[in-house]
Amino acid sequence: MSDESGRPIAVIIGMMGAGKTRVGREVSQMMGVPFKDADIEIEHEIGMGIPAYFERYGEQAFRDVESTLIRRTLEGFDGIFALGGGAPMTPSTQEALADYIADGGRVIYLQADPKEAMERANRGGGRPMLNGGDANERWMRLYEQRDPVFDRIANVHVRTHGSTPQMAARKVMNMIEERVVHVDVVASDDYDVRIGEGALNHLAGILGSKPVRIALIHTQPVQRHSDRARALLRQAGYQVSDIVIPDAEAGKTITVANGIWERLGNEGFTRSDAVVGVGGGAATDLAGFVAATWMRGIRYVNCPTSLLAMVDASTGGKTGINTKVGKNLVGSFYTPAGVLADTTTLASLPNDIFIEGLGEVAKSGFISDPEILHILEEHAGELRAFDGATLIGSPLEDVVSELIERTVKVKARHVSADLKEAGLREFLNYGHTLAHAIEKLEHFRWRHGNAVAVGMVYAAELASLLGYIDRDLVDYHRSLLASLGLPTSWNGGSFEDVIALMHRDKKARGNKLRFVVLDGVGHPVHLDDPPADAVEEAFRRIQH
C-alpha cells in the first residue's frame, strides 16, 4: 500500500501524550507498512537524547534539526510518520505539511482527551517542554496555543477520547483508506465527499468550532446511524436538537419544513449554527433545503445512508421539497460543507433499496464513465444478490466503494462547471424525464432509481428511433439493467398522462419537450422538441 511518489501514507500530529507513537505503530502493523517517529529519528541523527540536546543547544537549534528531518522524510518515506508534539508549530514544518496535503497527503490530528494525554505525558517523562513549574499547567498552556494551529493544519481529525490504542488505530486506518472526491464549485464553496468505513467520524472536523447548536434531521429507519451521529456531536460539545421526519418523499413537504423552522426559532438557532442530515435522498434534500432557507443559509453536512443518496442526492447542492403539482419544484441550489458517505451504513440496507441505487450508478456510466458499466457487468451477480449483513470487510465492499467514488466524480464534474443547471448539469438528468412522470403517476410508490432505469431505456429507444444510436446500445441498456435486478418496462399509466407530466418537467422549455439522449456511450446530447410520433412509439416500446 506504499505511495509511488515516496510520500508518507499519513502524518500523525497531536499533543504530547496523545499516543501518536503507539497509535502510529498499530496502524503501520495493521496496514503492513513501515513506521517512523520523528523524535526517534532525530535522536539517531544527533546521537543523544532530545532533553540533553535541548539543554545544550536550546529549543531553536532543536527545531531547525527537526524541520529539516521532517521535510526530508515527507519527500522520501512511504509509511506512517508521527511528529513530535511541538513540530507543527514551526513555520517551515507548516509549509512542508501544506505542500504534502496539496500533493494528496493526509495530516491526521490525533485529538486525545486532555486529562488522558496529560497523564500519559507526565508518566512518560523526557519532555523538555514540560520542565519547570507545574507540568499539567504547562501542558494546558501549550494545548491552548497548539490546538487551534493543529486543528487548522490537519485535513483529517481523529478523536480518541476513551479509545484503546487499537480502537484509535482502526479509526485512523479507516480514514487513511477512505476515498475522497473534491467538488470544486464555480462561484460557491468547495467541499469534499468522503467515502469509506467510519467516514462519519469527520463530522465535528467539518462543522468546526463556530456552531453551538446542531439540528440533526433524520428519519426513523436510520435511527442507529443518527444515534451514532448524535453521540459524535455530543462528544464534540455541540448541543443537539434531534428532529425526526417522515420517511421517503412524505418528509419532503412544506408542512415538515415549516415545523422544523418553528423548532429552530424556538430553540434559538442563529446564523452560526448548523444542520446535519442523516438518511436517504429525501432526508438529505429536506435537510439541505432547511439549511438553505434558515436565516438565508447556514452550514450543513450531508450524511447519506443509502446507495442512492450517496451517489446522487447528497452531492451537487440541489435541495428541495415536493408540492402537489410535482417533485422538487420548490428548492434551492446550496452547497453542503461536506458529504460523509459512511459505507458501514449500507450494511443496514434491504436488497431492493440497494439495487435501486444502481440505477443512478448505471446512468453515470452511460453519460460519462464507461468503466462504471464494465464494473457493473463484471459484478452484476454479486450486486444483485446484495446482502448488507455480509458487506463490510467483503471484496464487494471495495467494488461498491469504487462505484460510489466514480459516480460521485461524474456528478462532481457536471456540477462544478454548472451549479445552477444551465447546460452541462442537465446531462445528469438522463432517464429522468420519464422517471419523474412515472414517480408522480405511481404516487411515489416506485423508487427513484427504478424509475430512472425505465427512463433510460425509454431515452435509448427514442434515440434509436431518431438515428442517434443503434439497436445494440438499446439492447445493452435493457440487458445490463435487468442483470442488476432493475426494471426495464412500465405499464402504470397512459401516454396522455405521461406526456402531460413531461411538459411540466423542469427541463421543458416553454411548450417544447426536452430530453437528454445519447449519441454513444459517454456522449449525451440535448434533444429538443422531438417528433411526436417518435415520443409515443418509444413509450409503446417500454410497455412490455
SS3 at position 304: strand
Q: How far is CA 250 from the centre of its chain?
A: 25
Residue carrying the nine cell digits 482502526: 170
Question: Which residues contribute to the annotated binding site for substrate?
Answer: 39, 63, 85, 146
In this predicted model, what pLDDT tens digit does every residue of 90-141 receive, in sequence order?
A: 999 999 999 998 888 999 999 888 888 777 776 655 555 555 556 778 788 8
More confident residue, 146 or 544: 146
Question: Which residues contribute to the annotated binding site?
Answer: 17-22, 39, 63, 85, 127, 146, 247-252, 281-285, 305-306, 318, 327, 360, 432, 448
Residue carrying the nine cell digits 431505456: 457
Minimum mean pLDDT among 217-221, 247-251, 363-367, 503-507: which range? 503-507
Question: Which residues contribute to the annotated binding site for NAD(+)?
Answer: 247-252, 281-285, 305-306, 318, 327
In this predicted model, what pLDDT tens digit does every residue of 290-326 receive, in sequence order?
A: 999 999 999 999 999 999 999 986 676 778 888 777 6
Question: Which residues contribute to the annotated binding site for Mg(2+)?
Answer: 21
CA dist., res. 451 & res. 442, Å (int): 10
Identical topology for domains 8-176 and 178-414: yes
**β-pairing verdict for 338-342 and 330-333:** unpaired
The DSSP H or E segment spanning 218 is: strand 213-219
Q: Residue 503 in contact with residue 532, Cβ under 8 Å?
A: no
What single-letter DSSP state applies at residue 34?
Answer: -
Phi-psi region of 370 (alpha: psi -120 to 50; beta: other; left: phi over 0): alpha
Q: Model confidence at 3, in pLDDT bands (50, 70, 90)?
A: very low
User: What pLDDT does 418 receive?
Assistant: 53
Give the DSSP per-residue string, 470-502. -HHHHHHHHHHHHHTT------SS-HHHHHHHH
CA dist., res. 209 & res. 289, Å (int): 23
SS3 at position 182: strand
SS3 at position 325: coil
**What are the residue boundaries of the structural domains of the chain, listed by start?**
8-176, 178-414, 430-541
Query: Is residue 494's pLDDT more than 50?
Result: yes
Average pLDDT over residues 399-422: 81
Mean pLDDT over each residue of the chain, to the nearest integer: 89
Query: Is residue 26's pLDDT more than 90?
Result: yes
More confident residue, 12 or 125: 12
Residues 6+ apart with CB under 8 A from 84: 38, 39, 42, 50, 66
Query: Is residue 347's pLDDT more than 90?
Result: yes
Q: How far is CA 207 from the centre of its chain?
A: 14
User: What pLDDT does 180 receive?
Assistant: 85
CA dist., res. 321 & res. 57, Å (int): 66
Average pLDDT over residues 458-480: 97
CA dist., res. 468 & res. 46, Å (int): 71
CA dist., res. 427 & res. 312, Å (int): 13
Q: Residue 508 in contact with residue 529, Cβ under 8 Å?
A: no
Q: What is the CATH number of domain 430-541?
A: 1.20.1090.10
CA dist., res. 330 & res. 326, Å (int): 9
Q: Which fold does the domain 8-176 belong to in CATH?
A: Rossmann fold (3.40.50)
Residue carrying the nine cell digits 405511481: 442
User: What pLDDT does 1 receive?
Assistant: 38
Strand partners, 219: 245
User: What pLDDT does 319 receive?
Assistant: 86
User: What pLDDT does 507 receive?
Assistant: 59
Task: Kindly tell me the sign of the dihedral angle through the C-alpha atoms of 391, 392, 394, 397.
Answer: positive
Residues counted in the chain: 544
Query: Is residue 433's pLDDT more than 70?
Result: yes
For residue 301, which of 285, 312, 288 has the smallest C-alpha distance? 288
CA dist., res. 69 & res. 75, Å (int): 10
CA dist., res. 406 & res. 120, Å (int): 43
CA dist., res. 171 & res. 186, Å (int): 33
Question: Which residues contribute to the annotated binding site for Zn(2+)?
Answer: 360, 432, 448
Query: Is residue 188's pLDDT more than 70?
Result: no
Q: What is the CATH number of domain 178-414?
A: 3.40.50.1970
Query: Is residue 424's pLDDT more than 90?
Result: no
pTM above 0.85, yes or no: no
Q: Letter for the amino acid at 374?
A: H
Question: Which residues contribute to the annotated binding site for ATP?
Answer: 17-22, 127
